[in-house]
Amino acid sequence: MSSAPAPPPAADPVADLHRSGRLAAEYPRLPELLRGLGDDELQRAGRLLTRLSPDEVLAEHPGQPTVSVAVTGHGTVSGLVPPLTAELARHGLLLRPHVGDFGSWLFDLADPASEVYAAGGDLVVCVLDADVVFDEVPWPWRPEDVEQVLAEKVRLLDKLAATHASAGSGTLVYTTLPLPREFSAQLVDHRSRSRLGAVWRRGNARLLGLMEEHPGLVVLDLDQLLTGPAALGDARLAAYTGTPFTPELTAALARDLAHLVRGRSGRAKKVLAVDLDGTLWGGVLGDDGPEGIEVAGGLRGRAFRQLQRVVAQLASRGVLLAAVSKNDLDPVRQVLREHPEMTLREDDFVRVVANWEPKHGNLRALAEDLNLGLDSFVFADDSAYECGLVARELPEVTVLHLDGDPALHARRLLADGWFDVRDLTEDDVRRPARYREELVRKDFLDSFASLEDYLRELEVRVELATASETDTPRLAQLTQRTNQFNLTTRRLQHDEVRALAGSPGQLVLAIRSGDRFGDNGLVGAVFVRTGGPVWRIDNFLLSCRVFARGIEQGCLAALLEHARARGAEAVEARYVPSPKNGKVKDFYPRNGFDAHGHAEDGSALFRHELRRITAVPGHLGLTVRWEREGTR
């Protein structure tokens, strides 16, 4: 009896494009092509992509977002480049890498003139491992010897972070130092092993604590990556190539680094839209009724409760949570309000959408209501049909198919760090409540015959003030996460904003707003160079939550009046086009600026001669403070 023919090999579109020589031309398609690949497939794709010169891609696509990353470390770290290339390509980013020499991390970070400083404009990654310490302990050694060397290394890393803060750019990344079992096993008594474990954990805790002292530093905790399938090290790789980690751990580190880059480049997701039946609870509400769905009881119920807890935690950290379900609205609201075992309640959602319309249409309408791009959305559903339809109709939306065992739902939701950012501000924590208020404003708008009537009744309050030190984290975050009303899309880190705010000839302004429905918080920023007779607006940005209320016109008018009062002859500004800020391309011309040519980078230049300044909109209650508090 003949055996059945072998199935044809799975299609490998990245390999096909590479063989045909079209990989550079088709680079923007990679997020779609890499979606859903397994770890081994992604590794293969990464190796192929490293053969592609970034310059080839940029020649085909000059506007392709590019990330410069320099990698250094104690051992051989070149293995990080292929998985990092693939992970960044998944998120629509192009990697321009630089790899330091073997074991050169100390020289690379201590010398501001090193190639690592020159190449790592966005990220400098220092991969650390236990041999950083054990190469310098006496042999034979005791836990006390390890403690002394480890403390010295952490102090050294503290100084290197300060050097990078003063002489480098972008973000510096350290990894923690996982402790291989081979070292603790060399201590034959359990008391000494415990002492070594305590010493090592204290050292890593101090290393993680350096983030509190250096705003431009991120420390990635590798112990958390070792809770998955990744093993720490391979003895043969370590002995023969100097590679400290297994390919699996290196790939997991690359994924975390890509999450970090995505967040600092303004691509972190903001909205989690979840299905209900089969996703947040077991069963079908319309068939089983409120008493029949699995919420917390039984083995499967406990799995759904765990997912609800994870979702609630994300919402508490500023993620906007929406329910998008094919159901009747009243029964859904009843469950969310009254079911005794529900973790999530109606107030946890910025919007509950329950109807029988196609989900992609509901998601599109929700994006319009929230004034957010669809690429800010993650959609999670247990239905392969619904996931496939949304992926086809709304390719900008990230789709998570939470099928199969509900015990795995939470892990799948968290696996890709879609909502990761470097820092969380108080404004982030309050974001869901503010967006709920924003939807109330929209309903309020719908009751008026004209926008002018609505704005008069809204009672908009605005404060334009010189930024204080406490504003710095939120201002940096606005530059990183604001895309639509961002005139240059220049991303700034915490220390860069602080340096600008403290520099002579620089004016960093914070915009706050509120109205009859609540306080919107710090929603915008203006960066201005004030030296000389011509002032220059380097960037103007505003949260999408407060568009179309006259806030931007009022703040710009106040700034122009201030420039004229201080003796300026003119104010210049520029607009750098991006895929998302097209709606503000005529912001400056609409407010009295004349076209003034183009810069070498293709950006449009504008100039206001300060003769006729547009008045502050009459419905706006504007307060202006040009001096920092405490400076008078």
Q: 512: part of which helix (H) or strand (E)?
A: strand 506-515
Quick check: 337 and 331 in contact, CB under 8 A? no
In angstroms, the CA 10 to CA 130 distance is 40
Mean pLDDT of the chain: 89
Choice among 218-227, 280-289, 508-517, 621-630 with the minimum mean pLDDT: 621-630
Residue 386 has pLDDT above 80, yes or no: yes
Mean pLDDT calculated for residue range 614-621: 88
Mean pLDDT calculated for residue range 9-25: 84
For the chain, what's the residue count?
A: 632
Specify the pLDDT at position 9. Answer: 44
Query: 465-504 burial, b if ≥16 CB within 10 A, otherwise e?
Result: bbbbeebbbbbbbbbbbbbbbbbbbebbbbbbbbbbbeee
Specify the pLDDT at position 225. Answer: 86
Per the listing, tokens 């906007």 go with 320
β-pairing, 506-515 with 461-466? antiparallel
Tokens of 230: 């990744």
Domain with CATH 3.40.50.1000 in the chain: 271-414
- Provide the H-helix boundaries in 265-328: 285-288, 298-316
Query: 376-413 burial, b if ≥16 CB within 10 A, otherwise e?
Result: bbbbbbbbeebbebbbeebeebbbbbbbeebeebbeeb
Quick check: 514 and 520 in contact, CB under 8 A? yes
pLDDT tens digits for range 90-126 = 999 999 999 999 889 999 999 999 998 888 789 999 9
Mean pLDDT calculated for residue range 595-619: 86
Mean pLDDT calculated for residue range 389-397: 92
In angstroms, the CA 17 to CA 34 distance is 13
Residue 274 has pLDDT above 60, yes or no: yes
Specify the pLDDT at position 231. Answer: 77
pLDDT tens digits for range 54-93 = 999 999 999 899 999 999 998 899 999 999 999 999 999 9
**pTM score:** 0.75
Per the listing, tokens 């009672």 go with 459
CATH topology of domain 271-414: Rossmann fold (3.40.50)
Residue 3 has pLDDT above 70, yes or no: no
| Helices first, then strands: H and E counts in the chain | 27, 19
Quick one: which of 348, 354, 360, 284 has its CA closest to 313? 348
Domain with CATH 3.40.630.30 in the chain: 450-625
Q: Confidence band (pLDDT; 50, 70, 90) for 228? A: low
Mean pLDDT calculated for residue range 254-276: 91
Q: Confidence band (pLDDT; 50, 70, 90) for 572? A: very high
Quick check: 125 and 69 in contact, CB under 8 A? yes
Quick check: 14 and 49 in contact, CB under 8 A? yes
Coil, helix or strand for 45? helix
Angle at CA 112, nearest 5°, toward 107 and 117?
85
Specify the pLDDT at position 40. Answer: 86
- Radius of gyration (Cα) for the chain, nearest Å? 27
pLDDT tens digits for range 448-469 = 777 787 788 888 899 999 999 8
Sign of CA pseudo-dihedral 241, 243, 245, 250: negative
In angstroms, the CA 43 to CA 82 distance is 7
Angle at CA 158, nearest 5°, toward 181 and 417?
65
Angle at CA 291, nearest 5°, toward 285 and 296?
90
Mean pLDDT calculated for residue range 542-569: 90
CATH superfamily of 450-625: Gcn5-related N-acetyltransferase (GNAT) (3.40.630.30)
Quick one: which of 482, 550, 480, 475 has its CA closest to 508? 475
Q: Confidence band (pLDDT; 50, 70, 90) for 632? A: very low
Specify the pLDDT at position 547. Answer: 78
In angstroms, the CA 392 to CA 363 distance is 13
In angstroms, the CA 422 to CA 101 distance is 28
CATH topology of domain 65-264: Rossmann fold (3.40.50)
Domain with CATH 3.40.50.1110 in the chain: 65-264
Mean pLDDT calculated for residue range 472-495: 87
Residue 284 has pLDDT above 70, yes or no: yes
Torsion of CA 521, 262, 391, 432, to 10 degrees: -20
Tokens of 123: 């990220």
Specify the pLDDT at position 2. Answer: 43
Spatial strand order of the sheet with 66-73 comes to 94-99, 66-73, 123-127, 171-175, 217-220
The DSSP secondary structure of 183-222, one letter per residue, reads HHTT--SHHHHHHHHHHHHHHHHHHHHHHHH-TTEEEE-H
Q: Confidence band (pLDDT; 50, 70, 90) for 229? A: low
Q: Confidence band (pLDDT; 50, 70, 90) for 344? A: very high
Q: 519: part of which helix (H) or strand (E)?
A: strand 518-529
Which stretches of 345-429 are assigned E, i.e. beta strand?
A: 351-355, 377-381, 398-401
